[in-house]
Amino acid sequence: MENNIKRIAVFTSGGDAPGMNAAIRAVVRTAYYHDLHVYGIYQGYEGMIEGKVERLETRDVGNIIHRGGTILKTARSERFRTPEGRKAAFETLSAYNIDGLIAIGGDGTYTGATIFAKEYDIPIIGVPGTIDNDLFGTDYTIGYDTAINTAVDAVDKIRDTADSHNRLFFVEVMGRDTGFIALSTGIGSGAGAVFLPEVTGEKEKLYDVLRKSTKRNKLFNIVIVAEGDELGGATKLAELVKKDFPQYDTKVTIIGHLQRGGSPTCRDRVLASMLGAGAVEGLLEGKKGCAVGVINHKLKYTPFKQAIEKHKELSDYLMRLAPILAI
């Protein structure tokens, strides 16, 4: 490993995701293992502009691996979108003699890192922290496994009420642009139908399912809806169904930000630990302008441009399997 990196900083940006703390912990402890100084930047890019930087010791990341959220906090930063804001951020890093950055977040975080690195030639490695699992260059993102387990647990509870009262529940999960959470939640919870942003024309298929259920006198069911589906979410879909199937007692549950919180699963803790450590060692190996990921259980480094621009596809097999299992 090269030895030109002596001081690194880590920050979290964008939406929080369970497992971010595990990633921070891995960054700090791996840095100390390699005799580096490590700093934490609080409140993302906004904190970088404002100089909210503190030295982190190994004891500062003790007892956090099980905690949701992020001890470094996070924030959106409009100022970082401007040249003046990025200049102020660079001056902060220069004041602390920071040689490399580790950015934990999603595509917005990666986009900011790409521009920043190009303007100031700062070595930056991204760590995929988002529950949406939509970043190219990694099989899974930090927080995704916890989010789908939270959603499935909620649907399991809703199913008890749906069955007891013969109700048709529309459960909305996060996923404005992609249906990874909805698809896994639908299969994992045994839902009768799943609505995804990537797929259109699903309403008629649901209507067909409801007609068949009516003939069998089955008036309860669970429908999983990604918030970004073509019809505008669970509430809109439920209104349409109620109009066309008045015999159904329809209810809507929006799980919302519950999916972002809570203690991360073991899978997310292990993934975050691998990625945090991989980011530090990537910097030491001279890598920059890229995101670390895990593909087929091995660490991979993907250029930011590809991680941002390339589209991560849903599994064709799972999309085909969902309606089969809902019969």
Name, in order, each residue with C-beta under 8 angstroms of 92's C-beta and a sequence gap of 6 or more.
48, 49, 50, 51, 53
d(CA 144, CA 142): 6
Whole-Å CA distances, 51 to 46, 48, 122, 130: 9, 5, 17, 25
R_g over Cα of the chain: 22
In the three-class reduction of DSSP (H, G, I as helix; E, B as strand; rest coil), residue 71 is classed as coil
Catalytic pick from 107, 132, 134, 145? 132
Q: Which pair of tokens denotes residue 214? A: 């009516």
d(CA 194, CA 206): 9
Name, in order, each residue with C-beta under 8 angstroms of 270's C-beta and a sequence gap of 6 or more.
none
d(CA 107, CA 170): 29
The whole-angstrom distance between residue 282's C-alpha and the CA centroid of its chain comes to: 22
Q: Where are the beta strands (DSSP E) in the chain?
A: 7-12, 37-41, 53-55, 100-105, 124-128, 167-173, 193-195, 221-226, 249-254, 290-295, 298-303
In the three-class reduction of DSSP (H, G, I as helix; E, B as strand; rest coil), residue 64 is classed as coil
| Catalytic (active site) residue 132 | yes
Q: Are 48 and 109 in contact (CB under 8 A)?
A: no
Report strand pairing: 249-254 vs 290-295.
Answer: unpaired
Please give the angle made by the CA atoms of 158, 159 and 164, to the nearest 5 degrees: 105
Q: Which residues are catalytic?
A: 132
